[in-house]
Amino acid sequence: MQKIKNIRFFFALSSACTTFAKSREGCAVPADNDTYRKEMEYTLNIRGKLMDLGQPQVMGILNVTPDSFYEGSRKQTEREIALRAQEIVVQGGTMIDIGAFSTRPGAHEVSAEEEGRRLREALAIVRREVPDAVVSVDTYRPQLARRCIAEWGADIINDVSEGGLTGIVNTPIHESERMFDVVGELRCPYILMSVKGTLRDMMVALADEVQQLRDLGAHDIILDPGFGFGKTLAENYALMAQMDKLLVMGLPLLVGISRKSMIYRLVGGDPTTALNGTTALNTIALMKGASILRVHDVAEAVEAVRIVQEMKEVKPQ
């Protein structure tokens, strides 16, 4: 087991996960899951303003890349970026995630200079077009993340490298500071994604990483189970089935399964035909406690949120 710095946090997690040693079902949450979820009230501090996650939020994807896995998400010209940002907000999205490199298998390397140019230009356009939207930047480079938050107007760091602890990205990180140090110094919200394949391994690793972040001064941490990253098809669906058990971490969950291969490898097709499967999985994720859906198709995700929220408001007869 990895070393957990804070003993009290370790024992709190251990007490919630006692079934790990005795059961194949992993970490148990209280029997009344709906009651448990209602007790978890999450907010994010976005530059001094609190964003309430009591109702799940929809984060629209804006890829300023030529090679993202879903062709429909690629936006490169100023007009394309502006229209996409407006579209996300008009369709009900409250968050925009800007990515300037692709993490799909076989994607081309992108230099720090090129990624930075793309992010700087896209952030300027998005801030001009939809100034009230909450904006995250999808980057694994600490120095770029720092500039995005401190200089270019981003609000949240979305990091697929698990703080530089994984080899999931295409380009090695050669920087003098760690992403966790940047997050701790800037005190900005941070999306921590896991590439672990099983729930047990994921929770042990996340417990240590969350404590590292807290020790450095980070407050607003969002957990991303990392669907599609470092996981087999079976592991992806096993994780979705048990995702509500991550609620014992006491942190909001972001789910990003939009048009991913875990859908069309199961039912057939490709990213262009995976909207129906995406909506089905987004609905399940909401029922399992997701606070943020990261999606290509904003209107459909907003509908899923409204339907699930209405179902949760129904009182037993």
Q: What is the pLDDT of residues 292-316, one digit of tens each?
A: 999 999 999 999 999 999 998 887 7
Residues of the chain with pLDDT > 90, as a percent, come to 69
Q: What is the pLDDT of residue 165?
A: 63
Nearest in space to 282 (alpha carbons), one of 259, 249, 261, 315: 259
Alpha-carbon distance 236 to 263, whole Å? Answer: 10
Mean pLDDT of 185-203: 94
What are the CA-CA distances from residue 236 to residues 25, 231, 291 (Å)?
Answer: 15, 6, 19
Q: Is residue 231's pLDDT more than 60?
A: yes
Domain extents in the chain: 52-309
Q: Which two tokens stand for residue 134?
A: 């909450």
> Which fold, 52-309?
TIM Barrel (3.20.20)
Q: Residue 29: which pLDDT band, with cuts at 50, 70 and 90? A: very low
Mean pLDDT, the chain, integer: 84
- What's the pLDDT score for residue 140? 92
Helix (H) or strand (E) holding 156: strand 156-159
User: At 13, is the pLDDT very low, low, confident or very high (cuts 50, 70, 90)?
Assistant: low
Q: Give the strand pairing for 134-138 and 190-193.
A: unpaired
Confidence of residue 170 (pLDDT cuts 50, 70, 90): very low
3-state helix, strand, coil in the chain (%, to 5): 45, 15, 40
Lowest mean pLDDT among 12-21, 61-70, 106-115, 138-147: 12-21
Q: What is residue 243's predicted lDDT score, i.e. its pLDDT?
A: 96
Q: Are 180 and 159 in contact (CB under 8 A)?
A: no
Residues carrying an active site annotation? 260, 294
Contact between 145 and 101 (Cβ < 8 Å): no
